[in-house]
Structure 1
């Protein structure tokens, strides 16, 4: 099942995918452009993996990490499908990052990899933009990069975990203005989904609604105001976003 959070007729509502339409709880079916899309989950903690694909690490001239490189993001960063993300006027390289997002479904503490999937509610698509010239260093991702307002579109759908039998074999694609610029597969993650659940839950309790962004493969390209960026993950959905300019 694919579900979403939308704003329609002055209130926030749950909605479901229904043969290419958005179905409301009262049964009405709408075109996706008739509603305002919100992030499909109200997050607790947001964890983000840096350099979780070796080819992306090589692309930006970094050594692939030997253990997960993780940072936290604020809820202010999330924005929904078909929303706008600002590019600072002093950015010299701002690129998208198509990422599989894990949504935790129940409290998880000291979970073994073999049991990890039992703690996942579902998956969605995230696009975790980075302003590369703001980066301070390998071990300290600059706060200005990853906690900017509206810098992480997410959605459109939250897909039930049961509907994704193998999240470690999904195709990821990014298109900029209709041109394919990034292709990869979740099978190439350095630290896979079960490992991450085990890793985090070994030292903290994951809570329902926590979100884990799992990194991006190579193919990141500088984007400019006016560009439409579509990040898509097989079986989960296509997330549309448009870049606008904002004074730094």
Structure 2
């Protein structure tokens, strides 16, 4: 199948679907814009974003964890959506914002009670994602990951949605300020894209545009305001974002506050942290 890449951009103040042709983006009415000049939006508008926990073998080894018999998941609210070349906001008063380069599956047809063998027919395509985690709230989320993974701007996707792409044997890398930090391959995945879709669709109806994040390789680490983070996926392109600090601190008159426990530090800093001797928790 021929690869086809579409994007959603702001063009002359309007939200426009465009098709990539080389280094140009072409709208249905013939207007064009250079890919480097476009103001990007998330390439899809999902009703839900479902994320798998551990999946890549290198990440399992790094976390000194044992995979369960079947995948486990968490949910990112759609308000966390962000786009290519946009800012990822670390709230003032927080320290432990980590990248996680991933591949996002995009549903193309309503899916419910399908087999892994059928799942490919329900996938429209794939895009690059970065499943940022604000680990300052890890102690207070009681396993839900709601604020850790669901805070505003923490789910950039893009730059485009690629149809006809084969996920097998593809390289995925994350770079921070031009330095490679993650370097993995989709063949590391314990559960492939088709399995994940079929598993979720057993009890949750997946609608066109819905997104499933498929996991990250080893070496998720903390980034800071001023850093530029790029996720490269072979055949899907490069998703680029920059980190900024929010203008206001987390309110102190309501709710649990950011913490810096051993679990927070071990998750955020991996094997480089000072409590090197203890068992790292699962993601």
Q: Shared topology, TM-score over 0.5? A: yes
CA distance in 2, matches of 1:34, 1:216: 29
Aligned to 2:72: 69
Deviations 1:45-84, CA, capped at 9 Å, x for gaps: 2101111223223334544333211111111111111000
Q: Does 1:128 align with 2:131?
A: yes
CA distance in 1, matches of 2:65, 2:142: 11
Segments of structure 1 that go 5 or more residues without pairing to the other structure are: none
Aligned to 1:86: 89
1:13 corresponds to which of 4, 11, 16: 16
Aligned to 1:233: 233
Moved more, 85-94 or 230-239: 85-94
Alignment of 1:127-166 (within 5 A): 127-136=130-139, 140-160=143-163, 163-164=164-165, 166=166
CA distance in 2, matches of 1:173, 1:179: 10
1:26 corresponds to which of 4, 15, 29: 29
Report SS of the residue matched to 2:158: strand
CA distance in 2, matches of 1:29, 1:51: 41
CA contact (8 A) 1:135 1:141 kept: no
CA contact (8 A) 1:16 1:22 kept: yes
RMSD: 1.8
Report SS of the residue matched to 1:202: coil
CA distance in 1, matches of 2:63, 2:97: 13
Cα deviation, residue 138, structure 1: 10
Segments of structure 2 that go 5 or more residues without pairing to the other structure are: 251-283
CA contact (8 A) 2:90 2:245 kept: yes
Change (3 A) 1:139 1:116: farther
CA distance in 2, matches of 1:196, 1:219: 23
**Structure-1-length-normalised TM-score:** 0.92
CA contact (8 A) 1:3 1:15 kept: yes
CA distance in 2, matches of 1:139, 1:191: 25
CA distance in 2, matches of 1:72, 1:88: 20
Report SS of the residue matched to 2:222: coil
Q: Report how many residues are paired.
A: 245
Moved more, 143-152 or 17-26: 17-26
CA distance in 2, matches of 1:214, 1:240: 19
CA contact (8 A) 1:51 1:65 kept: no
Aligned to 2:184: 184
**Structure-2-length-normalised TM-score:** 0.81
CA distance in 2, matches of 1:150, 1:62: 29
